[in-house]
Amino acid sequence: MQSIVILVSGRGSNMEAMLAAGLPCRVAAVIANKADAKGLETARARGIPAVVVAHAGHASRQSFDAALAAEIDRHAPDLVVLAGFMRILGEDFVRRYQGRLMNIHPSLLPAFPGLHTHRRALDAGCRVHGCTVHFVTPALDNGPIIAQAAVPVRPDDSEETLAARVLAQEHVIYPQAVRWFVEGRLRLTEDGRVRLSGEQTAAAALLSPPPDAR
């Protein structure tokens, strides 16, 4: 059975979704960069090793990355999953785990990389918004896309209501992407392309607003 390590910075709701999904893998450890991350409590309650590698204790990003990598490697995971891990990781770290470092971003990449995605989608007048699971590369929020989920943007949406609708879809597609990987169905090729065996073709396009039914 393959194993994963999950990195969190806060409550870890995507981590909770993975644990609830009954994935065919072992969670070797949950690692946080903050001692008060709620995700650590969830891990401990389930008997999963919970470790803190505090970024505040390191003078440089390189020093933190090295300490984090050392802790990850101690658990020898097949996949490293970023689940609300709010630290930018350096190029050397990312390349160390190339093809087995996964993240989820709350937008339909390549639209709205970075922060405040829901506000920016509303300000841009988007009709659809969503989330993206991708392999991590040195370029921020720019890695090869594994899966996406789209939601409609409603006229009365606030950042909070839109974020909640997107988060619900994150909890669906992120565990699915991890499942594909640990089942050996998902890989990143040498030329940086995502390959997924047994992929299903979408039955219909998503249109928002929908065409008039006449």
Burial class (CB in 10 A: 0-12, 13-18, 19+), 113: middle
pLDDT at 57: 87
Closest CA to 14 of 126, 107, 133, 117: 133
pLDDT at 214: 45
Report whether 91 contacts 117 (CB < 8 A): no
pLDDT at 213 over 70: no
pLDDT at 17 over 80: yes
64-92, pLDDT tens digit by residue? 999 999 999 999 999 999 999 999 999 99
What is the C-alpha separation between 83 and 11, in angstroms, rounded? Answer: 9
The amino acid at residue 11 is: R
Active site residues: 105
C-alpha distances out from residue 152 to 113, 133, 166, 193, Å: 19, 18, 9, 28
C-alpha distances out from residue 13 to 55, 98, 146, Å: 21, 25, 20
What is the C-alpha separation between 191 and 108, in angstroms, rounded? Answer: 22
In the chain the domains, ranked by start, together with CATH numbers, are 3-194 (3.40.50.170)
pTM: 0.94
Tokens encoding 189: 């090729």
> Could you give the maximum distance between any two Cα atoms of the chain, in Å?
64
pLDDT at 198: 78
Report whether 9 contacts 55 (CB < 8 A): no
Question: In this predicted structure, which of 40-44, 62-66, 150-154, 199-203 has the lowest mean pLDDT?
Answer: 199-203
147-176, pLDDT tens digit by residue? 999 999 999 999 999 999 999 999 999 999
Evaluate the CA torsion angle 24, 26, 32, 38 in order and state its sign.
positive
Closest CA to 97 of 74, 79, 82: 79
